Amino acid sequence: MLSRTADNLFWLSRYVERAENMARLMEMGYRMALMPAVVDGNRSEWESVLSASGCAAGYDPDAPLRQEEVANFLIFNRDNHSSIINCFEYARANARAMRTAITAEMWEALNNALMELRRPSMHNLAKNELPEFIDWVKKQGALFRGATDSTILRNDGYDFIRLGTFIERADNTARLLDVKYYVLLPETSMVGDGVDNYQWTTVLRAASSLRAFHWVYRDDYSPHRIAHFLILNPFSPRSLAHCAEQITQHLERLARHYGQRHSVHRQAVEMYSLLTQSDMDEIFSGGLHEFLTDFQGRNRLLSLAIADAYHFGGQ
Amino acid sequence: MFNEMSVDDQIREPYRALVDWMEASGPEVLEQKRLEAETLFRKIGITFAVYGEGGDPERLIPFDLIPRIFTSGEWRKLDRGVKQRARALNAFLYDVYHNAEIIKAGIIPADLVFRNDAFEPAVIGIDPPRNVYSHIVGVDIVRTGPEDFYVLEDNCRTPSGVSYMLENREIMMRMFPDLFKSLRIEPVESYPDMLLKTLKSIAPRKCDREPNIVVLTPGAMNSAYYEHSFLADQMGVELVEGQDLFVHEDRVYMRTTRGPARVDVIYRRIDDAYIDPLCFRPDSVLGIPGLMNVYRSGGVAICSAPGAGVADDKAVYTFVPDMIRFYLGQEPILNNVPTWKCGKPDDLKYVLEHLGELVVKEVHGSGGYGMLVGPASTKEEQAAYAKRIEADPGDFIAQPTLALSACPTFVESGVAPRHVDFRPFCLVGDDVRLTPGGLTRVAMREGSLVVNSSQGGGVKDTWIMSD
């Protein structure tokens, strides 16, 4: 396979996943903002969302940090590299650059999503009915993954698509958790009260994991368990452990398929072991934020190492 | 004007079955079919972008549902004439980059060839595989009467449009299965196989295995990108960009996820000027530095060969009948359109006096841009154009305004005749091959003679009836 094709497949799925995760971040901000204010001047949900999105640097410092402005920035701003509309534009541009490497169903899922998103009516929907808009974005991600799952050949191209998905998802789950733990309630005195618990369940909701969590842990919303669910639990589809497991598996498939191993294989196994061998007490005592920062760094390096091993450049 | 469907209210033979079917179906069925066809096109994503016009870079080319039909007798003549031309053009290309016998014999002026912008000194003396330069020759043909066909121009570099020939047929077969069952229409779908066979047959000297073939595209922003990816897909070869290829020692490689893979034959859809920044335009980012060195030493084959453009220049065009006589010792089967060369004083005088009746073109122009269609122009336009001609007469040729044939076409007011032309695609490698079919382009505006897709022209399926 051409390296450029691998690059396009990898980034195509990263952008789709990113669009969906931007929507999830906003869902979290939206729900948190529905909570009564506990402390004056502590209504910084949208600021937190912005900073967790990793795009705060591009936000107009004079613009208010309200839902309407922040959401518009995260959804439609063309100068924001990771805005949802840009994610779909880039995903489709990557797809178009190697049309024949993906199936017609995958192309249609992407193409239709972008065409709809470009319609002016979507601006109104996002402005007036943000939750509906968020559902729409999540549905587009699901459509694309469904089309991929049911139509594409299980060859090396599939591995690059899946690697892109899980590298991006791991990064985003880490960001979601970081918003909650570090940005929203920096003062430790407030950790553990009612608002705190509500916010933790909001993190779960944003990860579409509230019901799954119930099944696994019943009703104990301790931060400890919620963090466990999203970090170490290998059965949770958005947990870091699950993402790392998938990444390791797909790299392993590539190694078998090509008969070649690279340093990226060792790096992936290391990252996976870090998650299978840690426990939450250790992570909390070392600092959740520090743990998440370290993880995001490893994940970034892993992404670069994949590009290196398979001779593509990264976007 | 010759209407290909009917003469004096008599339906011509090849159209009879189609007309019967259309009358039996009625306008509603036809309208419904038309909408279905458009939806199919949009779904498949066949698009054509127009440079410099802004707007949607993935515009759809208008597709007309009513096919253009040739009898087998008409096709036999076209087939022989096109192949003859393709052979002569390749013989000419080999000659001008070697001994230039045709110039020594005084048949073509040396200036016209050696001072031509498309003449490529960098390939003088190189022997491309099988001595072929132009492996895909697109010959643009117009018709003015039952027996009168004229060649408007030759395209020896990278003629586009063959994907429309294939996709138009695909859609027509889906829309009108009954017609295809009851009529005997020559199939066109073997074109990609024939192209692959042709490309395999021109493997370079140093290639000691089944050649690895790639299609080289400038990228997704190019107007013909759909065609590039379509052909690569149909042949089952990689579609590459310049950045995917590199030269190492005396071979070309592509970057793959397993490391470098050697490339033997490049079907390039990039102009000469851009294929190698070390040899041609140094600012090109589309090309592969060092490619021409590998080409010279027989490490890679390039299709079409660099320098092939000198044969499809509009000034050289006027000499193609002479080439046929000189190299093949035959009389041309297809005629050229009579042409005045403004570089000649007598011709220039005639052209300036008859601007209102002629079509004047820039010698190096393409795509229907920068031409003057006399009968459709105003006095002011003619005066302005005359100034351009006088400034540089050698850059212009003129031809009579031909009464192009017309074919029935769907337009807003129903079905009406519209002018058409025709481009078959001739393949030259170990053999000269021609798919029975081609691209019919149609001027969608009433009275318009400009069929270029960049100027609102549409396309039709072309049926060759078999015996």
Are the C-beta atoms of B263 and B245 separated by less than 8 Å?
yes
Domain boundaries, given as residue ranges, for chain A: 3-309
Q: How far B35 CA sits from the closest chain A CA (Å)?
A: 19
What number is the average pLDDT over the span A216-228? Answer: 79
Residues whose CB falls within 8 Å of the CB of residue B109, separated by 6 or more in sequence, listed in order: B103
pLDDT tens digit sequence for B238-284: 999 999 999 999 999 999 999 999 999 999 999 898 999 988 888 88
Q: pLDDT class for B194, splitting at 50, 70, 90?
A: very high
How close does chain B come to A100, measured CA to CA in Å?
6
User: Using CA of residue B437, residue B443, residue B448, residue B452, what is the dihedral sign?
Assistant: negative
Neighboring chain B residues of A107 at a CB cutoff of 8 Å: 45
The two structure tokens encoding residue A244: 């790392």
Option in A2, A93, A312 nearest B240 (CB): A2
Q: Which is it for strands B213-216 and B265-268: parallel, antiparallel or unpaired?
A: parallel
Residues 234-273 of B with CB under 8 A from A: 238-241, 243-244, 254-259
**What's the rounded Cα separation, in Å, for the pair A184 and A178?**
9
State percent of chain A over pLDDT 70.
91
Alpha helices, H only, chain A? 3-33, 45-53, 67-76, 84-96, 104-117, 121-128, 130-151, 156-178, 194-206, 210-217, 223-231, 240-258, 263-277, 280-286, 288-309
**What ipTM does this complex have?**
0.81
Helix H or strand E segment including B16: helix B16-44
Q: Least CA distance to B241: which residue of chain A? A: A4
Backbone angles phi, psi at B33, to 5 degrees: -60, -40
A99 touches chain B (CB under 8 A): yes
- pTM (two decimals): 0.84
Q: Do B229 and A100 touch (CB under 8 A)?
A: yes
* Residue among B257, B258, B288 with most chain A CBs within 10 A, to mutate: B257
Contact A7/B at CB under 8 A: no
Predicted confidence at residue A223, as pLDDT, reads 77
- Best of A100, A107, A110, A112 to mutate (most B CBs within 10 Å, chain B): A100
User: Does residue B61 carry a pLDDT above 90?
Assistant: no
What does the pLDDT look like over A127-154, one tens digit per residue?
899 999 999 999 999 999 999 999 999 9
> pLDDT per residue over B327-348, tens digit each?
999 999 999 999 998 888 999 9
> Given this model, what pLDDT does residue B50 score?
40
The yes-or-no verdict on residue B175 having pLDDT over 90 is no
Per-residue pLDDT tens digits for B24-46: 888 888 888 888 887 777 666 55
If you measure CA to CA, which chain B residue comes closest to A7? B257
Axis crossing angle, helix B191-201 with helix B162-175, rounded to the nearest 10: 150
Return the SS3 of B420. Answer: strand
- Among residues A2, A136, A12, A107, the alpha carbon closest in space to that of B58 is found at A107
Asked whether B216 and B232 are in contact (CB, 8 A), the reply is no
- Residue B406 in contact with residue B66, Cβ under 8 Å? no
Computed from CA positions of residues B25, B26, B27, B29, in that sequence, does the dihedral angle turn out positive or negative?
A: negative
Give the pair of three-digit tokens for residue A132: 């509906």
Q: Rounded mean pLDDT of chain B? A: 90
* Chain B partners within 8 Å of A312 (Cβ): 255, 257
In chain B, list all ranges with CATH 3.30.1490.270: 338-400
- State in words which class domain B338-400 has: alpha beta
- Say yes or no for a CB contact (<8 Å) between A100 and B233: yes
Question: Which residues of chain A from 53 to 82 reach within 8 Å of chain B, CB to CB?
Answer: none
Question: Using CA atoms, how far apart are residues B94 and B310, in angstroms rounded to an integer?
Answer: 11
Q: Is A310 on the interface with B (CB under 8 A)?
A: yes
Q: Which pLDDT tens digit goes with each residue over A38-81?
A: 544 555 788 888 888 888 899 999 999 889 999 999 999 999 99
Cα nearest neighbour of A95 on chain B? B220
- The pLDDT tens digits for B63-89 are 888 999 999 999 999 999 999 999 999
